[in-house]
Amino acid sequence: MAGRVVSHECGPLYRLHVDDDLPLLLAMACAFLGMLVLLAGAPFVIFRWAGRQHEKDLLAWRELARVHALSFQSRPPRVSGVFEGVPLVVGVLVSGPSGQMAMSTRVRGGPPASGPEVDWLRVAPRSLASSFALTSPGPALETGDAAFDARFVTHARDAASARRVLSDVVRAGLVALPRDVTLVGTTGAVALAWRGREPEVPVLEQACRIVAQALR
């Protein structure tokens, strides 16, 4: 008899609590379903955002190719052709250990028929000089250009060859370039590189012009 009374009294109370909590339960269920929808769509949204950002970042590369009648491709980013009489390629380099990969922009030029013979040399910002010194097969070289030598350290296997490549125009261009660039010359080629994928047309043009001048 006592059991029936308890059951009779608790039943309505239980239904009353359920009725009171129903809006909260429905809200929680809707929030959970919304979260599932967001999680399911997140990869697609991120993929589309990355694609749009990739194309936005390459607007400068497209413009460089258009203005100078060069060839352009977006994946992987690449501009190639003859710039001011010198064949060159603008591309990206990805280097570094796994998990710490870094992207760089590189402008690499091959010599025209009348270009100078390029022996090994490296021009690096003084802030990076210590990391390059141990791998440099040649001694440090002072060019006599105060502004250039204050900003860069040059190592070269052959001083005469390095001075021919690092003409007044090339040194002035490197000093004026608003990036921490590294220039490397090897037999038959000169490459200029700096961190990141370059988003500005004037910087790309100036880098191409420096490489072209170095190979004339």
136 pLDDT more than 90? no
Residue 160 lies in a domain: yes
pTM strictly above 0.85: no
Residue 65 has what pLDDT?
A: 96
Residue 74 lies in a domain: yes
Distance CA 198, CA 167 (A): 25
pLDDT digits (tens, 9 = 90+) for 28-78: 777 777 777 666 655 544 444 444 555 666 899 999 999 999 999 988 899
Residue 203 lies in a domain: yes
Residue 199 has what pLDDT?
A: 92
Distance CA 196, CA 94 (A): 10
121's CB contacts (< 8 A; 6+ apart) are 138, 141, 154, 155, 156, 157, 158, 161, 162, 165, 166, 183, 184, 185
Residue 51 has what pLDDT?
A: 45
Distance CA 211, CA 67 (A): 18
Q: Give the number of domains in the chain.
A: 1
Residue ranges making up the domain that contains 182: 58-214
Residue 195 lies in a domain: yes
What mean pLDDT is predicted for residues 14-22?
56
**CB distance 155 to 136 below 8 Å:** yes
